[in-house]
Amino acid sequence: MKHPNRATVLCCNLNGTKAAKIKMAAVKLGLRIHTVSPDEFTLPLGRLVGLPAYADAEPLEGELFTQEMLIFHNFTEPQLDAFLAEIRRAGGVRLKAVVTPTNASWCISALYHELEAEHAAIQQQRQAHDENK
């Protein structure tokens, strides 16, 4: 991939009007968009966003999933704030992440499972907090 220093959004399982609104917002903000196809779900994030260290990285173990997910790379804080506002206006996407040095070696499928586990843990904490009120 080209332009590893340009802000990039990886879009997984986005369809319809919501996808069109989010992609239009990304273009308006000057972001690079990569619609991740299911056959790319096992590629390392670093490879998908064009990090040179991952240029030749091989696919990893993983499986398909159908939930919407957005992954951000190389965003400035103002870009991220503006894009998150646009995502909310478009109807929201529950699963969102930022590419980090830790997760750049993970595949999309592994990141999805991590986000789902984190979401479940947060829901449990909220439920326990509500029960203790």
> What is the pTM for the complete model shown?
0.89
Beta bridge partners of 73: 8
CA atoms of 41 and 132, how far apart (whole Å): 40
> Going residue by residue through the chain (133 aa), what tens digit of pLDDT does each one get?
444 468 999 999 999 999 999 999 999 999 999 999 999 999 999 999 999 999 999 999 888 999 999 999 999 999 999 999 999 999 999 999 999 999 999 999 999 999 999 988 888 888 887 887 7
Task: Look at residue 126 in the predicted model and tell me its pLDDT.
Answer: 85
The burial class, CB within 10 Å (0-12 / 13-18 / 19+), for 111 is buried
CA atoms of 66 and 96, how far apart (whole Å): 14
Chain-wide mean pLDDT for the chain? Answer: 91
Domain boundaries in the chain?
8-131
Phi, psi of 69 (to 5 degrees): -150, 140
